[in-house]
Amino acid sequence: SEEHKPMRTFTKSHKLDNVLYDVRGPVVDEADRMEAAGTHILKLNIGNPAPFGFRTPDEVVYDMAQQLSDTEGYSPSKGLFTARKAIMQYAQLKNLPNVSIDGIYTGNGVSELINLSMSALLDNGDEVLVPAPDYPLWTACVNLAGGTAVHYVCDEESEWYPDIDDMKAKITDKTKAIVIINPNNPTGALYPKEVLEQIVQVAREHQLIIFSDEIYDRLVMDGLTHTSIASLAPDLFCVTFSGLSKSHMIAGYRVGWMVLSGNKRIAKDYIEGLNMLTNMRICSNVPAQSIVQTALGGHQSVNDYIVPGGRIYEQRNYIYEALNSIPGVSAKKPKAAFYIFPKIDVKKFNITNDEQFALDLLRDEHLLVVHGGGFNWKNPDHFRVVYLPRIEVLKDAIGKLTDFLEYYHQ
Ligand code: PLP
């Protein structure tokens, strides 16, 4: 009878078996529990500029307020014409070849488009080359789509540039594409043209699609310039991602885009798949699309942050020096974005589990960082620091980390 039936329980889809997104995972859950119990946590874990006093340019907010009543309805699936025209001009300034308006898609952040672009491409067993360390959404979306993320190593000893030999060694007859994240999260690396050319050559030889995540392309320091890899590959099919979350400090509005370029003929069928998934989600947030033109064409407030005297620049210099002055910690100087990925001497501290390290740091010092494993880094010897907080706050964090490490032994 009904009474003796075992209780039915619900388990998550097996599609999630190989999916990991620890940037908001178990250590963060513990931090939330501690906060709920009244503990103040110093959070250096999320690349979200607004809570740290970075404001979007006034004209962008003004523009959205003006347009709000005109953006109540759905837009075309790929996005508003004005937004896509502005993105198209931006793509032309970055020398992306063979871009047309129908090859530009807006999304609810780059995040939605990463997911969509992998879902439309991959069959079970298809492989995609993804960097290690990576922004873990890439690995997660490849695996969620049924593919296999195969990690190539970025080399700390070479400014965290991709190891081209490792990349080549990881290619099989199942490899469909290569992902690069440039500028990089979590390392802060910026790839020079010579490195990009080598990657293009690998993609050319093995007939791979290039996916390039360039969301930090306007946060480049030290007078360096960002090169879009697609500009070097007119004969290949490339998909370039960017958005306003970081450059305009409006991560909460959710607006990003992707741009198809180069040889689109070879990807005709894939593009049909992209269009189908784009139609199915109807459109991205329309008020957020409505400000793209003003944001891209207007006052670039970010430029004031990334030069000497600017907050991001000065905070980068501080955190770089301060981390390197802690015994057992070393870090390469980031050139872009607002992350640093220090190395920790695992022998000195007997560290075998980096997630445990992050948890211990959280419990003892109320300081929240993400362990390297959260970025698909295999060895337990790194963690990521977001250096968006003001220097006074970073000083506090460095003090806590120094105290913690003085007696830490796993
Ligand atoms: N790509 C990289 C490398 C990121 O670091 C982030 C956010 O941190 C994203 C994509 C997602 O950005 P959004 O969805 O806000 O556009």
Q: pLDDT digits over 323-358, tens only?
A: 999 999 999 999 999 999 999 999 999 999 999 999
Quickly state the pLDDT bin for 381 (edges 50, 70, 90): very high
As a whole number, mean pLDDT of residues 154-181 equals: 98
Percent of the chain surpassing pLDDT 70: 99
Query: Which residue, 206, 243, 213, is CA-closest to 87?
Result: 243
* 45 CB near ligand 1 (under 6 Å): no
What DSSP letter does each residue of 36-77 carry, written as one string?
A: HTT---EE------GGGT----HHHHHHHHHHGGG-SS---T
Structure token pair of residue 114 = 């990463």
| Identity of the amino acid at 122 | L
Residue 253 has pLDDT above 60, yes or no: yes
- 0.95 surpassed by pTM: yes
Structure token pair of residue 101 = 């308006």
pLDDT of residue 4: 81
CA of 407 to the centre of ligand 1 (A): 36
pLDDT of residue 198: 98
* 214 CB near ligand 1 (under 6 Å): no
Q: Which is the closest atom of ligand 1 to the Cα of 244?
A: 16
pLDDT of residue 157: 98
Percent of the chain surpassing pLDDT 90: 95
Strands 237-243 and 256-262: antiparallel
pLDDT of residue 354: 96
Structure token pair of residue 24 = 């908001």
Please report which residue ranges of 220-267 form alpha helices under DSSP H. none
As a whole number, mean pLDDT of residues 231-249 equals: 96
For 155-164, 168-177, 246-255, 381-390, which range has the lowest pLDDT when averaged over its residues?
A: 246-255
Q: Report the distance separating Cα 230 and Cα 238, nearest Å.
A: 6
> Is residue 96 packed enough to be buried (19+ CB in 10 Å), middle (13-18) or exposed (0-12)?
buried
Chain mean pLDDT for the chain: 96
Quickly state the pLDDT bin for 1 (edges 50, 70, 90): low
* 256 CB near ligand 1 (under 6 Å): yes
Q: pLDDT digits over 10-33, tens only?
A: 999 999 988 988 777 789 999 999
* 251 CB near ligand 1 (under 6 Å): yes
Instruction: Please state which CATH number belongs to domain 70-297.
Output: 3.40.640.10
Interface predicted TM-score (ipTM): 0.99
As a whole number, mean pLDDT of residues 297-317 equals: 95
Domain ranges in the chain with CATH number 3.40.640.10: 70-297
Domain ranges in the chain with CATH number 3.90.1150.10: 2-54+304-407
As a whole number, mean pLDDT of residues 208-236 equals: 98
* 49 CB near ligand 1 (under 6 Å): no
- 240 SS3 class: strand
pLDDT of residue 90: 97
Quickly state the pLDDT bin for 2 (edges 50, 70, 90): low
As a whole number, mean pLDDT of residues 185-197 equals: 98
| Identity of the amino acid at 384 | R
CA of 45 to the centre of ligand 1 (A): 14
Q: Long-range contact list for 21-24, CB < 8 A, 24+ apart? A: 21/136, 21/137, 21/140, 22/136, 22/355, 22/370, 22/371, 22/373, 22/374, 23/136, 23/370, 23/374
As a whole number, mean pLDDT of residues 108-116 equals: 98
pLDDT of residue 265: 97
Ligand 1, pocket-test mutation among 105, 110, 180, 214, most atoms within 8 A of CB: 110
Q: Which CATH architecture has domain 2-54+304-407?
A: Alpha-Beta Complex (3.90)
As a whole number, mean pLDDT of residues 220-231 equals: 98
CA of 234 to the centre of ligand 1 (A): 25
Query: Which residue, 225, 296, 224, is CA-closest to 259?
Result: 296
pLDDT of residue 5: 87
pLDDT of residue 241: 98
Q: Which is the closest atom of ligand 1 to the Cα of 110?
A: 16
Host H or E run for residue 14: none
As a whole number, mean pLDDT of residues 258-267 equals: 98
pLDDT of residue 24: 73
